[in-house]
Structure 1
């Protein structure tokens, strides 16, 4: 029996579709197992009390109500807010400055770009080890350099007054490279004719930067702002690796009290104190906070673009 042309095309399309499903199946299955199911499970756990071994008890909104009176968690949110409010603007400002400088025709430009981008592709553990040595109060590089000018350096990661600042310095330093690449792509999309016309009109370098570079770079800056805010609210690795475990000063020690962020609080409740239901509820509150801030950014960006 001979197949018509349309039947052959239909069979080929079906075959291509089946092969397509076959090739994307591992990704879809992995996404379902490691993302979708955990999300649903955490939502169920947020309304329950469970320590990971005993029977799970449904307690309704008790976990969410408890957060408003949990001073440890509220302090973690405040610490996260302070961390975000300082690191995000500082990182973006420095990233714009570096991107503008490395967008010019300077000698060794590619080498400088590589140097600034290296922290973005370096393992956080390696970064933490290097900075721990630099921050060492006895024989660290930073205090040694300060001693050369007669300054007695503090215990950067052993003093609760300085440890959060020390972590923020690393975060700012490590975030410049990735943002720089995004901003460089935006800068390279700005036509040189705009700058040439402004120069002919007598515009200064600052005027060209403020009236040409910044407005046309806004989409890239907005993208960097959104991703930086999300990353700052989710900070965990630096806090986990640079905060020593000490005794006293409340749950987890004075240093952990000084650096406990929202995600670190989720980790402690879930994997240290085995309050898995409470940790899940905190995770969902953090998701709502990040979601609302992102939506507000999207709204303000649309208003700004429309106004412009």
Structure 2
């Protein structure tokens, strides 16, 4: 009987295991192999060992892309507290038009990335964009958002935070609605105000949700590509200031046809995600233990 149950268990997980092997494990193994090769002009690969990784370590464009990606990820994480505030406001009972506000905040999540990128590209136009026109109305000379490499990554992060607030707020809203109401009632009896309740009850009990949102936000930020591709031209002077690792991978693998070099970039990105995620899990365990 136990053997039959075991066989049924294996049979039920077989489709999922097969899908993971075909669409995840095999591509990762193939990419790892390609990272040690060099692609020929007419196809085929030549084994070059660690040459691609050595070249990456000395590539200034790779260093710049890595710095831009980490800065973008840090700016995205800085937007997580804003999502908590939005979720707390959307959780207020008796607020008129609550369903409308929730829909408005979630709209960027379901909007096509192409529409988001092209819309913000128009908004960021330095000559006739609405953002600079509004700044000029109050006497501020706005920068060329998509042409200045010094502000390009911050303009990109602004779009990323705007796009992610709705999704993160929904997660935090679910966490808020899972907090027992009697905690707040007891705090009110003890004389705690709304602000004190937020920092003493809401934030500590939102720790699991906050950790999940931080991990997901970090992983998504490290893989940003579509916004860079849609907002900045291939020959834009601001591109060096907004080039991310995935965009650098796109340039090397698809524009320059250096597939082995691009595979090495992908492996480095995978390693970076694994390391940062492991650090976050480690910090989360200490955080919970301390709490």
TM-score (norm 2): 0.92
2:84 is matched with 96
The structure-2 alpha-carbon separation of the partners of 1:135 and 1:20, relative to structure 1 and needing over 3 Å to count, comes to: same
2:127 is matched with 138
SS of residue paired to 1:57: strand
After superposition, the C-alpha distances for 1:210-250 in whole angstroms (9 at most, x for unaligned) are 1100100000000000000111111111111111122xxxx
Q: Distance in 2 between matches of 1:304 and 1:206?
A: 22
Q: 1:260 aligns with which of 243, 247, 264?
A: 243
Q: Distance in 1 between matches of 2:161 and 2:210?
A: 16
SS of residue paired to 1:68: helix
User: Is the CA contact (8 Å cut-off) linking 2:152 and 2:239 kept in structure 1?
Assistant: no
Q: 1:278 aligns with which of 256, 261, 264?
A: 261
1:288 is matched with 271
1:223 is matched with 212
The structure-2 alpha-carbon separation of the partners of 1:284 and 1:110, relative to structure 1 and needing over 3 Å to count, comes to: same
Q: Quick check: 159-168 or 116-125, which moved more?
A: 159-168
The structure-2 alpha-carbon separation of the partners of 1:192 and 1:51, relative to structure 1 and needing over 3 Å to count, comes to: farther
Matched, 1:163 2:152: yes
Matched, 1:48 2:37: yes
1:303 is matched with 286
Q: Quick check: 130-139 or 210-219, which moved more?
A: 130-139
2:26 is matched with 37
SS of residue paired to 1:254: coil
User: Is the CA contact (8 Å cut-off) linking 1:51 and 1:274 kept in structure 2?
Assistant: no
Tell me the number of residue pairs that the alignment of Structure 1 and Structure 2 aligns: 288
Q: Distance in 1 between matches of 2:199 and 2:266?
A: 40
TM-score (norm 1): 0.87
The structure-2 alpha-carbon separation of the partners of 1:55 and 1:154, relative to structure 1 and needing over 3 Å to count, comes to: same
The structure-2 alpha-carbon separation of the partners of 1:18 and 1:217, relative to structure 1 and needing over 3 Å to count, comes to: closer
The offset of 1:46, in angstroms, is: 0.6
After superposition, the C-alpha distances for 1:41-60 in whole angstroms (9 at most, x for unaligned) are 11110111115733311111
Matched, 1:181 2:164: no
SS of residue paired to 1:183: helix
Q: Distance in 2 between matches of 1:283 and 1:108?
A: 45
Mark the runs of 5 or more structure 1 residues left unpaired by the alignment: 1-5, 247-252
The offset of 1:153, in angstroms, is: 2.4
The offset of 1:159, in angstroms, is: 2.2
Mark the runs of 5 or more structure 2 residues left unpaired by the alignment: none
SS of residue paired to 1:228: helix
User: Is the CA contact (8 Å cut-off) linking 1:124 and 1:238 kept in structure 2?
Assistant: yes
Q: Distance in 2 between matches of 1:291 and 1:188?
A: 31
Kindly report which structure 2 residues correspond to 1:44-83, keeping only aligned pairs within 5 A, or say none: 44-51=33-40, 53-83=42-72
The offset of 1:72, in angstroms, is: 0.8
